[in-house]
Amino acid sequence: MTNETNIASEPLKLKKIDMTQAIVLFFKNYFNFSGRASRGEFWWFYLAYILATIVCAVADVFIGGFFYGLTDSELISDLGLLSNILSLVTLVGWVSLTARRLQDVGRTGWWQLGYFIIIPAIILWTLFIVFDGNTFLLLMSIIFSLASLALYILIFVWLVSAPTQDENQWGRNPLLN
């Protein structure tokens, strides 16, 4: 009886995650849109992605400069081949990681579709410019732009938030033992 009481009264211990674990989890859960991802898993991978992007950009400059010297073609030097490959290789993983991170704070991963609200804003701004300052198009452009900004801020707040519960409809907190 005392053994059961000690086990039940022990505080929950949270696992810590580092950048290497976050990278492994990213590729392990590449197509996993269910479950949860901790803040550490999301933000450590985000940092790793930023570092990889910088490395690819520097390599693109050197590779582009090399080919520019051989061919005198500016097109090759502006391609950003490695950066584009990195973006394409991680695209699905980013969507799944963000979905799991949103689910960790009790939101559905479908909120990511809100990123596309910027498309009508871009179209409306383009039409505003083409039609020489139509007031209605200006108003609609501003509304969609502000809605995009508000939604991006909301999603960012959710991405940096702590999980609301130890267990929710998407499973148990991934950091709990």
End-to-end CA distance of the chain: 22
Q: Which domain holds residue 127?
A: 107-164
Residue 134: CB atoms within 10 A of its CB come to 15
pLDDT score recorded for residue 78: 61
- Note whether residue 10 is domain-resident: no
- Note whether residue 42 is domain-resident: yes
- What is the arithmetic mean of pLDDT over 64-88? 71
- What is the arithmetic mean of pLDDT over 48-60? 93
* pLDDT confidence tier of residue 24, bands split at 50, 70 and 90: very high
Contact 109, 102 (CB under 8 A): yes
pLDDT score recorded for residue 95: 96
Q: What is the pTM of this model?
A: 0.79
- Note whether residue 114 is domain-resident: yes
Residues 68 and 45 in one domain: yes
d(CA 55, CA 68): 20
Residues 127 and 144 in one domain: yes
Q: Closest Cα to residue 79, out of 68, 90, 89, 70?
A: 68
pLDDT score recorded for residue 64: 74
Residues 88 and 118 in one domain: no
Residues 31 and 94 in one domain: yes
Residues 155 and 117 in one domain: yes
Compute the radius of gyration of the chain from its Cα atoms: 22
